[in-house]
Amino acid sequence: MKCDRCNFENPENESYCINCGQKLPEKPMVTHIIVKFSNKIPKNNENNNYYSVTYRGPDNTEINDTAYGCIKKTMKDNKKLFIAIILNLIVAGTGHLYLKRYYRGIIFLILTIGLCLTSLYNSQFVNLVISAYVIQTIDVIFCYYERQ
């Protein structure tokens, strides 16, 4: 270990510099956490994904044995995305409002109403209305995962 003051290389077990007597800095405690997903699923709970976590300390010495736990994917989260998509398809912009993206929801709502009114007078704008719905639905999905 090098001394901060004189840059003398000291043996690893020394706490003071042999050359100048300065107290050597303590070794930093380096810890690595390795997360591995496992295909081994216990018979008692087949619906959850299991993962293992291994903690490793300095010099790759293992500090703790592998621990197992489960990642629970709740249906409530998937239900919220499904509701946002359905609301957006029924009335444009409401999916964003449901996800509490009020500014985007109002902009998409006004844009779609304007395109719908324009398509009543000119049938070429129908494709733009359909495109706007598709873009809004994709944006709802992105907004949902952005909040996660």
pLDDT tens track for 13-42: 888 888 888 888 876 555 555 555 555 555
Threshold 0.75, pTM exceeds: no
For 74-111, how does the pLDDT look when each residue is reduced to its tens digit (9 = 90+)? 566 678 888 988 998 888 889 999 988 999 999 999 99
Predicted local confidence at residue 8, as pLDDT: 86
Cα–Cα dist 145/135, whole Å: 16
Tell me the three-class secondary structure of 71-88, residue by residue: ECCCHHHHHHHHHHHHHH
Do the beta carbons of residue 138 and residue 89 sit within 8 Å? no
* Per-residue pLDDT at 136 exceeds 70: yes
Q: Say how many CA atoms lie within 13 Å of 142 toward its Cβ.
A: 7
Question: Where in the chain are the domains?
Answer: 1-27, 32-71, 75-147
Per-residue pLDDT, 107: 92
Mean pLDDT across 135-142: 90
Confidence (pLDDT) at 128: 87
Phi, psi dihedral angles at 53 (to 5 degrees): -125, 130
Of 15, 33, 32, the closest CA to residue 24 belongs to 15
Write the CA distances from 13 to 2, 16, 28, 37, 146, integer angstroms. Answer: 12, 9, 14, 38, 50
